[in-house]
Structure 1
Amino acid sequence: MGKLKGKRLSGSTLIEVLIAMVIIMVVFSIAMGLFSNVLRSGVSMRKVRVNQQLELLRQQAIKNGKIESGHQLIDSIDYECSTLKQVNGGMDILEIKATDNGAQAGSIRFLLKKSNENATD
């Protein structure tokens, strides 16, 4: 302790510390903004589930040879099935739209060959 008595200790002033803290806070706020944008724009599990459900409904329609027009509510997502156009040769253009709280979550269009029982209608 006696050796330190004659020497002057160097350190940071309060202004230098405050400036360093402001710089660190600015860098962290920019990083948090970038991180939240990446999370928001990434593919969420909900979107993946919607796409899987649309594909499942499409496969069921192909298997059955028809689609039931109307709305289906699955996992709080509304799926609207409709026939867009009837094409010659017993084919229909079908569309399934998914909406999540009023916002479109996905859609799928495909050609469907009518089954024998529907072809006579």
Structure 2
Amino acid sequence: MGKLNGKKLAGSTLIEVLIAMVIIMVVFSIAMGLFSNVLSGGVSMRKVQINQQLESLRLQVIENGKIEQEHLVIDSVDYELIKTEQASSETDLLEIKASDHGTPAGSIRFLLKLNNESKED
């Protein structure tokens, strides 16, 4: 082993190391808070999927000219089709509401033109 004759090794004291660790932890916690806010504020793939499914259901109802089922469950999302009011003798105002595990996830409202078959039902 070599000896150090009259030379000191440069190093940090325990207090300096602790202060540096505290500063790093504060910066890291601020960064994690900002990161979680960005993730929660963005459009998730689940919301995009629900909106696409709402549009698909709207097109199906328009194509069929009537509501076949008032309640659907697709990919664990509940879709409720509601006839809110009759806008005129030829059209109905319909609304499709989506809820994901009990929380509202989206809705869409549209007019449905009635055909002669649905008036007789």
The normalised TM-score by structure 1 is 0.89
User: What is the identity, as a one-letter code, of the residue corresponding to 2:114?
Assistant: K
- Residues 71-107 of structure 1 deviation map (CA, whole Å, 9 limit, x = unaligned): 1111111100011111224011100000111110110
The alignment-based identity, stated in percent, is 68
Partner Cα distance (2:46, 2:105) in 1: 9
Partner Cα distance (1:5, 1:51) in 2: 76
Which secondary structure state, in structure 2, belongs to the residue aligned with residue 84 of structure 1?
Answer: strand
Match of 2:58 in 1: 58
Q: RMSD of the TM alignment (CA)?
A: 1.7
Match of 1:112 in 2: 112
Match of 1:87 in 2: 87
Which secondary structure state, in structure 1, belongs to the residue aligned with residue 39 of structure 2?
Answer: helix
- 5 Å-filtered alignment, 1:4-83, equals 5-68=5-68, 70-83=70-83
Which runs of no fewer than 5 residues in structure 1 stay unpaired? none
Aligned residues: 120
Partner Cα distance (1:31, 1:15) in 2: 25
Match of 2:101 in 1: 101
Structure 1 outlier segments of 4+, above 3 Å: none
User: What is the identity, as a one-letter code, of the residue corresponding to 2:10?
Assistant: S
Contact 1:50–1:98 (8 Å) recurs in 2: yes
User: What is the identity, as a one-letter code, of the residue corresponding to 2:88?
Assistant: N
